[in-house]
Structure 1
Amino acid sequence: MGSNKRKKPKADLRNYYTIFWQLGLVVVLLIFITAMKVEWVSEKQDVDLTQEQEVVEMEEIEQTKQEEKPPPPPRPQVPVEVPNDEIVEDQEINIDADINMDEPLPEPEEPQEEEEEDFFVAVENMPELKGGLGELQQKINYPDMARKAGIEGRVIVQFIVNEDGQVEDPRVVRGIGGGCDEEALRVVKEAQFTPGRQRGNPVRVQYSLPITFRLQN
């Protein structure tokens, strides 16, 4: 009886050891599981943060586009008034006119050559009035119209002295009227000249004479 009582405490201690070992094992497992969960959650958070950062980095910033304004419309043209008084003549065009291709085309007109002057203006020996200008003035008959009107002055007559010394084509280049111009022409037509000469040969020369009309008091 005494031996059974001594062995009993040892058996109890073994049972206690087994229970403590099992409890310790459970506690260790719980701690391990808890630690694993904490690490897994932290890794998940880290992954999410990196993903969010990557998303932020990949976002593109849209540039604001400046809207181009269309150019302003052109100003309307101001209408110009056209006078209604002007009448535009209608030109009639004969469309039905027959064209004969067999007919020869009209020859172009040849330009008319200007007639060369057959007289000289200045020569070596100019014409000379026979008898002088004083003798020619004495042949003048003062016109009554000019006398009554008191017209006085000088009439200049221009003409050609030909190779024979005669006057051709006299004309008044400056007159005074009152019949004096006609009287000056009459007197000059009767004038006789010594013909002008160029290199010893008689030639036609343009000449002018002043015929004076003066009233005597």
Structure 2
Amino acid sequence: MEIKKNPKQQLENYSKIFMQIGLVLTLYITYACMEYKTYDMDNTSNLGVVNMIDEMQEDIPIVEIKKVEPPKQNDPPPTIEKIKVVEDDLKVEETIIESTETDEGQAVVVNTQDIVEVEEVEEVVEDIPFILIEDVPVYPGCKGNNKELKDCFTKKVTEFFGKRFDVNLATELGLQPGKKKLFVVFTINKNGKITNVRSRGPHPVLEKEVGEIIGALPKMTPGKQRGMPVGVSYSIPITFEVR
């Protein structure tokens, strides 16, 4: 096959050289643009001239000074008390002060109709809890110190209740089997008697029964607070089993 062109004259053989020359020119132009500097134009020759002729003036306000006069006093001046000089020859009457003291031998009469009797109101002292009382109530037959009296009181009340309480009553009332609880609160008043009995339980009949038993406790020596007889409140929990 006959070749139509001279291989030495084909531009494709110089494509790499052209590309390198193009890259070099591009980098040179970019660098030249980055390093190019511009400066502001100097227009100072066209500026005008300012002449300062007048001096600066300040406006100073004029203050008028007025004479202040003191206020006029309308009150008259205080009068000076005149002292009267008494001559020695002038007689002066003396005032005699009578004594109000009474003589021991002189009887004093008192009008009893003017005396009004006032009844003293008795101070009401609230009931003091059993654990806080200074001198605990004494159950008949108990002796010893305050702690021993407390233990003896609890023991005697528990025994008294245990002997009189009918456990079968709960079964007769149809209560379900199991442990039942009763709570009783009562007061030993300042005369040693049992008052204000309150009970709470699973049935009203049981509450009434417990109240009657506690109300039948014997009379005791009342408790004392600061040496004075006072009411003492006592509570007892009761547990029994229904079979």
Give the TM-score normalised by structure 1. 0.39
Structure with greater proportional helix content: 1
- Computing the radius of gyration from Cα coordinates, the structure with the larger value is 1
Give the TM-score normalised by structure 2. 0.35
